C-alpha cells in the first residue's frame, strides 16, 4: 500500500487500499493467462527514447508513449510515461538493467535510480539503473481529482475519531464528493490507472531499452508492481527483490484492514518505550503508560481547541497523521518527540520553528498524491460497496486501534463509491519465476509482517529475510546484513539457502 519518499508522508505512505474479487475487462485474457493482450502496435514498439539530461542533472530522462488501454491499444489517446536511467559506471563490467519503482501508489519513481546508485556503488557499477513515473504520477500523464482545499478538508477538518451520526455522515459525504470530482476532472482516465496497466508500460520500457530481461528492486507498493510484473511477464525478469511487502497474493481490502493493528503495535511496542527511555530529554513520561497518557491529553486538547500556528489550524487528525508518519523509521522518533513538545507549548518556540511546523502540517496529503493513490487502490479491483458495513467495521477499528483505525472510514467510503473496476484478477503464485528475495521487518507499521509472511508462503521459491525492529524499507536503511544479502543476489545470484534473519540497523 506504500504507504507511502514521501509527499506528505503522514497519510500518504500509510495508506494503501482495500479490494475484493475482480471482473475481466472486455477482451482481456483470463486470469490464468496474465499479460495476454493484443499485439503492441508498431508506433509504440518502434519508438526511440529521446534521452536528455533530467532537470536535476543527475540522470537521463526520456518520454515514452503508451496505449491508454493495453487491452484496446487503438482506442483512446496515448499516454506519456516519463522514464529515467543512470548508466553503469563501468560499461565493461555491466551485467544488465536494474529497474526500480516507487511506493505509494502516488510517489515519483523518476529520481530513484540516482538514490540507489549513490547508496550502492557496487550496483551502480554493474547495472544501468532505470526508473519511471508510473502512469497517473508526476511527469507522466497525471490523473486529477479534487483541489488541495478539498483534500485538506477530507483528512484534517474534523476529528476522525468522532463517531457521532453527524460526523460519520460528513465523512461519507466528503468521500463521495471526492469521487465525484475524480469522475469529472480525470478526463476518462480512472479505469486505466491500475497496477495491471502499469506493468504493461514497464515491459514496453524493457523492450525499448533493448534487453531481453531486467532485474528489479521495489519497496512498499512497488512490491505489488514487481510481483504483478514478474507474474504477467515471467520471461522478462532475471532477479527480483521485494522490500517491505504488501500481500500481493491476496487483496488490498484485507491488507489494509490489518494496518490499524500494525500502526498501533509500532506505536505501543517501539515508540512509547523509546519516548519513556528518553524522558530526561523530552519530558513526555517516565513509562510507556505515562507517555501514552500524555499523548492522549495533547490530542484531547486539540479536539477541544485546534491550534492555529502561523495560519495553519492543527487538529487531532494532524497529530495522528504526523505520528503515523514518524513510525515508519526509528530515526524519525526524535523529531516526533520534539513536535509533541512544541504542540504542548507553541508559545515557547522561535518564529522559524513555528513557520516550519505550519508548513509541515499544511497538507496532510497532497492533492496530486491522493488522486493517483485512490485511483490505483480503488481501481485495481472492486471494494465492498456497503457503506453501512464500513461504518460498523471502522467503529471497531477506531476503538481497538485508534491511532490509524479512525481513518478507515474515509478510505473505505472513497473506494466503496468508486466506479466499478474492470481490472483483471492477477493470481501471484511464483510459478515459472526465478527465486524472489523478500525483505520485511517484524514491526513495520505499514507493510506489516503477517502480510509479508502470507505473500512469502504464496510465492513459490521465495526467500524471506526477516529484520528485527520495525523500520519500513530495509535496503538503503544502513543495515549491513540486509545490504549484503541484496547485493550478493543482484550481483552474483547468491541467495540464502532458506529464510533467514538480520538484526535491526544500528542507530
Taking the domains of the chain in order of start, what are their residue ranges? Answer: 24-142+190-254+426-502, 148-184+365-396+407-416, 259-361
Secondary structure (H, E, C), 380-443: CCCCCCCHHHHHHHHHHHHHHCHHHHCCHHHHHHHHHCCCCCCCCCCCCCCCCCCCEEEEEECC
| Whole-angstrom distance, CA of residue 66 vs CA of residue 70 | 8
Query: Taken in order 25, 27, 31, 35, is the CA torsion positive or negative?
Result: negative
Which residues, at least 6 apart from 142, have a Cβ–Cβ distance to it below 8 Å?
Answer: 136, 368, 371, 372
| pLDDT 10s digits, 48-100 | 999 999 998 999 999 999 999 999 999 999 999 999 999 999 888 899 999 99
Residue pair 38/161 in contact by the 8 Å Cβ criterion: no
Q: Residue 25 has what pLDDT?
A: 35
Written as nine digits, the cell of 407 is 481513518
Residue pair 244/447 in contact by the 8 Å Cβ criterion: yes
Query: Taken in order 260, 263, 269, 271, is the CA torsion positive or negative?
Result: negative
Give the global pTM. 0.92
Note the CATH number of domain 24-142+190-254+426-502.
Answer: 3.40.50.1820
Q: Residue 33 has what pLDDT?
A: 52
Half-sphere exposure of 151 (CA within 13 A, CB side): 22
| Whole-angstrom distance, CA of residue 504 vs CA of residue 69 | 43
Q: Residue 422 has what pLDDT?
A: 87
Q: Residue 256 has what pLDDT?
A: 85
Q: Residue 506 has what pLDDT?
A: 77
Q: Residue 2 has what pLDDT?
A: 38
| Whole-angstrom distance, CA of residue 42 vs CA of residue 40 | 6
Nearest alpha-carbon partner for 54 in 82, 17, 23: 82
Phi, psi of 254, deg, nearest 5: -70, -30
Q: Which residues of the chain have pLDDT under 70?
A: 1-35, 507
Amino acid at each position: 500500500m506504500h504507504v507511502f519518499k514521501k509527499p506528505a508522508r503522514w497519510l500518504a505512505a500509510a495508506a494503501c487500499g482495500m479490494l475484493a474479487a475482480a471482473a475481466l475487462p472486455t477482451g482481456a485474457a483470463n486470469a490464468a493467462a496474465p499479460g495476454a493482450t493484443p499485439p503492441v502496435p508498431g508506433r509504440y514498439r518502434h519508438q526511440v527514447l529521446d534521452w536528455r539530461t533530467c532537470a536535476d542533472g543527475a540522470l537521463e530522462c526520456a518520454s515514452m508513449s503508451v496505449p491508454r488501454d493495453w487491452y484496446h491499444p487503438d482506442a483512446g489517446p496515448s499516454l506519456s510515461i516519463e522514464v529515467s536511467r543512470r548508466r553503469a559506471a563501468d560499461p565493461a563490467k555491466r551485467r544488465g538493467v536494474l529497474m526500480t519503482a516507487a511506493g505509494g501508489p502516488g510517489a515519483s519513481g523518476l529520481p530513484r535510480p540516482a538514490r540507489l546508485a549513490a547508496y550502492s556503488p557496487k550496483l551502480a557499477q554493474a547495472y544501468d539503473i532505470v526508473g519511471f513515473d508510473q502512469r497517473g504520477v508526476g511527469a507522466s500523464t497525471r490523473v486529477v481529482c479534487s483541489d488541495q482545499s478539498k483534500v485538506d478538508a477530507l483528512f484534517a477538518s474534523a476529528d476522525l475519531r468522532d463517531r457521532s451520526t453527524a460526523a460519520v455522515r460528513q465523512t461519507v459525504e466528503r468521500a463521495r464528493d471526492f469521487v465525484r470530482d475524480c469522475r469529472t476532472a480525470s478526463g476518462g482516465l480512472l479505469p486505466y490507472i491500475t497496477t495491471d496497466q502499469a506493468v504493461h508500460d514497464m515491459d514496453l520500457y524493457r523492450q525499448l531499452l533493448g534487453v531481453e530481461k531486467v532485474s528489479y528492486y521495489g519497496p512498499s507498493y512497488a512490491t505489488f508492481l514487481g510481483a504483478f510484473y514478474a507474474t504477467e511477464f515471467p520471461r522478462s525478469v532475471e532477479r527480483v527483490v521485494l522490500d517491505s511487502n504488501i500481500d500481493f497474493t491476496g487483496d488490498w481490502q484485507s491488507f489494509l484492514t490489518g494496518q490499524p493493528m500494525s500502526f498501533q503495535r509500532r506505536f505501543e511496542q517501539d515508540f512509547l518505550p523509546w519516548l519513556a527511555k528518553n524522558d530526561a530529554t523530552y519530558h513526555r513520561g517516565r513509562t510507556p503508560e505515562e507517555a501514552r497518557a500524555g499523548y492522549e491529553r495533547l490530542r484531547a486538547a486539540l479536539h477541544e481547541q485546534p491550534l492555529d500556528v502561523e495560519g495553519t489550524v492543527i487538529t487531532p487528525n494532524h497529530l495522528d497523521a504526523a505520528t503515523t508518519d514518524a513510525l515508519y523509521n526509528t530515526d524519525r522518533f526524535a523529531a516526533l518527540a520534539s513536535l509533541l513538545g512544541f504542540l504542548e507549548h507553541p508559545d515557547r518556540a522561535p518564529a522559524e520553528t513555528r513557520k516550519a511546523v505550519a508548513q509541515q502540517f499544511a497538507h496532510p496529503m497532497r492533492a496530486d498524491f491522493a488522486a493517483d493513490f485512490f485511483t490505483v487502490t480503488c481501481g485495481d479491483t472492486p471494494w465492498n460497496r456497503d457503506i453501512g458495513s464500513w461504518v460498523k467495521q471502522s467503529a471497531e477499528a477506531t476503538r481497538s486501534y485508534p491511532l490509524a483505525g479512525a481513518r478507515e472510514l474515509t478510505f473505505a467510503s472513497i473506494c466503496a463509491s468508486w466506479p466499478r473496476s474492470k481490472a483483471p484478477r492477477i493470481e501471484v503464485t511464483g510459478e515459472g519465476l526465478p527465486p524472489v528475495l523478500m525483505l520485511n521487518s517484524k514491526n513495520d507499521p505499514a507493510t506489516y509482517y503477517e502480510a509479508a509472511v502470507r505473500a512469502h508462503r504464496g510465492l513459490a521459491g521465495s526467500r524471506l529475510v526477516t529484520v528485527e525492529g520495525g523500520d519500513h524499507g530495509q535496503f538503503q536503511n544502513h543495515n549491513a546484513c540486509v545490504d549484503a544479502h541484496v547485493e550478493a543476489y543482484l550481483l552474483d545470484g547468491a541467495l540464502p539457502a532458506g529464510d533467514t534473519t538480520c538484526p535491526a540497523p544500528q542507530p
